[in-house]
Amino acid sequence: MIHPNSPYKRIWDLFVFICITYFAIEVPVRLVFHYKLSAGVTWLERAIQIVFGLDVILNFNTAILKDRLLIHNRKIVTKTYLRSWFLIDFLSAFPFDLFGGFFFQYFGVTDSLKILRLLRSVRVFELFKSLRLLALGADSDDRFKLVEVINPMTFRLIFFVYWTSLFAHWVACGWIYLGPEFLADKDITTRYIRSLYWSVTTLTTIGYGDITPVTNKQTIYTMGVMILGVGIYGYVIGNIATLLSNLDVSRVHFQEKLNTIDSFIKYKKLPPQLANRIRSYYVNLWENKHGIDETEIWNQLPSGIKIDVSMFLHNHLISVVPFFKNAPEELKREVVLELKPAFYMKGDIIFREGDVPHNMYFLSKGHVEVIKENTSELLATLNSGSFFGEMSLIDDSLRTATIKAGSYCDVYTLGKDRFAEILKHHPKFAQHIQIIAEERKKNQTSKTTKTE
């Protein structure tokens, strides 16, 4: 039995989906314009027919997932399939023109039977659902646990566009079917484009009225399409509006936050310079982190997931900080879990010489300047991968220099107490930090500039 979520089945589903779409577009066009197919296309269609046939066989051999339970029992699988999609699948897969050829040709209905292939379009709904879950998570308990790859909202939007386009296409073909004399002197492409134009203007309730029904059949058809159009139009527009506003839900939240901040600035009568700094901080927060407050999300995560998430999130930091690269896994996990993210903009003072120390800092992105307050001398420029703020923590003194962001900086802070604990448990880490701190101290006294 095939697992319904196995990667191969998914790729197969995608393939079947493409075949269905091909038939859903091509069959109606051929039914109304009655053109001859080239040999290549005929073979392609035969191949698709075989794909559909194979799909029926595969479906009989695919286990089913019911209430998170995987059912392998052949009897149940067969019964479920026979009761659900089998008839539709069978009718659309059966090559009537080959097998029932003589019988059906006798009654002159072979062509109309091709419309049965359209039946499969109904399955597109189901396939769409499974295609949405294309990526597979490697979970040890459930080999084929699925992970959503596309934002569900975006997916629904794609789904709408797909269905409305297909529907407009069918309505256009129906229009020509009911009025074969429509622009009969023109070529197929012009006739199709004009009828698609009629279909779109009617379905979107715009109805210019430049193409109007002539026969009774067409008039009744037009009325039907108009009524359907109103419903579809309302439904689609309503849905798209909600979808679009939900798509950018974080931006909306962020905008609300900015408004509150503006009111705060006005209420507290903050000077323009300070107000601008606050605003640019938030603009940066949006540009660099999409307005997501990592700490807030962090606090909600269960500790088991936290470690793995933080290892993943700090991948970059671990790769840029030379010491971490060769550090033992336990140390990385321990440190990484305690890190708190923060960011600074160019020119921000991260802390000043003489301040009471609370944290040590790891620089993940950007560069900082180490400045001596009294002489305003630049002691060093530290680049991404460096750490700072360790000297005063080790010596239990005040900050020995001022640290200023030389560009936009992403930093991670490690609290004083945790820093001490980690030093205690990981002597190698302690030794490494102490060596660097010593070097820096020497540099401070000799006032030479060192870049890490």
Contact residue for ligand CMP among 327, 390, 411, 426 (CB under 6 A): 390
Q: Which helix (H) or strand (E) holds 410?
A: strand 409-415
Widest pairwise Cα distance in the chain: 104
For the CB of residue 388, give the shortest distance to ligand CMP in the complex, in Å.
Answer: 4
Residues 315, 320, 326, 332, Cα dihedral to 10°: -40
Give the C-alpha separation, 372 to 446, whole Å: 13
- Is residue 23 part of the contact set for ligand CMP (CB under 6 A)? no
For the CB of residue 160, give the shortest distance to ligand CMP in the complex, in Å.
Answer: 55
- Is residue 321 part of the contact set for ligand CMP (CB under 6 A)? no
- Collapsing DSSP to helix, strand or coil, 382 comes out as strand
Contact residue for ligand CMP among 399, 405, 419, 422 (CB under 6 A): 399
Give the C-alpha separation, 412 to 360, whole Å: 8
Interacting positions 253-292 with ligand CMP (CB under 6 A): none
Show contacts of 62-70: CB within 8 Å, 24+ apart.
62/1, 62/2, 62/3, 62/4, 62/9, 63/1, 63/2, 63/3, 63/4, 64/4, 65/4, 65/5, 70/3, 70/4
By rule CB under 6 A, what count of residues binds ligand CMP? 18
DSSP string, 73-92: -HHHHHHHHHHTTHHHHHHH
The residue (of 130 and 407) whose beta carbon lies closer to ligand CMP is 407
Window contacting ligand CMP (CB under 6 A); options: 53-61, 292-300, 316-324, 385-393: 385-393
The residue (of 229 and 357) whose beta carbon lies closer to ligand CMP is 357
Residue environment code for 400-435, b if the CB has 16+ CB neighbours within 10 A, otherwise e? bbbbbbbebbbbbbbebebbeebbeebeebbeebee
The residue (of 262 and 355) whose beta carbon lies closer to ligand CMP is 355
The residue (of 301 and 398) whose beta carbon lies closer to ligand CMP is 398
Interacting positions 417-446 with ligand CMP (CB under 6 A): 440, 443-444
The residue (of 339 and 401) whose beta carbon lies closer to ligand CMP is 401
For the CB of residue 389, give the shortest distance to ligand CMP in the complex, in Å.
Answer: 4
The residue (of 273 and 374) whose beta carbon lies closer to ligand CMP is 374
Positions touching ligand CMP (CB under 6 A) are 357, 370, 379-380, 382, 388-392, 399-401, 403, 440, 443-444, 450
